């Protein structure tokens, strides 16, 4: 009885290895997602930006509105995403006084 159990366990292990090597365990969309993202980031044009030094009382939104002389021509969410991308994923609410950051410029 033990020999049959060991034989069945060995078959299951061998089938698992075969399945993993031939088909894989990740869905195709997840396996290629990293490659597609890498290509798409290279194809996208760089975001135009200007650098500004943060003063006491400044926020990302107030600086962006000053750059554009009024309300933003894009949704705030897009401006925040572009700010993060330009500044190495720094959150807008974590900016520091007297530090210089890149702010997106929209036409």
- 11 pLDDT band, cuts 50/70/90, is very high
Number of Cβ within a 10 Å radius of residue 103: 21
Q: Which pLDDT belongs to residue 41?
A: 52
Cα–Cα distance, 83 to 90 (Å, whole number): 8
Percentage of the chain modeled with pLDDT above 90: 66
Q: Which pLDDT belongs to residue 91?
A: 93
Cα–Cα distance, 62 to 57 (Å, whole number): 9
Which residues, 6+ apart, have CB-to-CB distance to 54 below 8 Å? 63, 95, 96, 97, 98, 99, 100, 101
- 16 pLDDT band, cuts 50/70/90, is confident
- pLDDT digit string, tens, across residues 29-86: 555 555 555 555 555 558 999 999 999 999 999 999 999 999 999 999 999 999 999 9
């Amino acid at each position: 009885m033990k020999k049959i159990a060991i034989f069945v366990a060995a078959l299951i292990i061998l089938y698992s290895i075969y399945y993993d090597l031939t088909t894989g365990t990740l869905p195709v969309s997840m396996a290629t997602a990293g490659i597609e993202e890498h290509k798409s980031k290279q194809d996208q044009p760089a975001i135009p930006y200007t650098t500004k030094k943060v003063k006491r009382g400044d926020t990302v939104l107030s600086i962006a509105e000053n750059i554009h002389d009024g309300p933003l021509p894009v949704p705030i969410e897009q401006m925040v995403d572009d700010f993060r991308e330009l500044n190495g994923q720094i959150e807008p609410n974590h900016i520091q006084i007297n530090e210089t950051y890149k702010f997106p410029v929209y036409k």
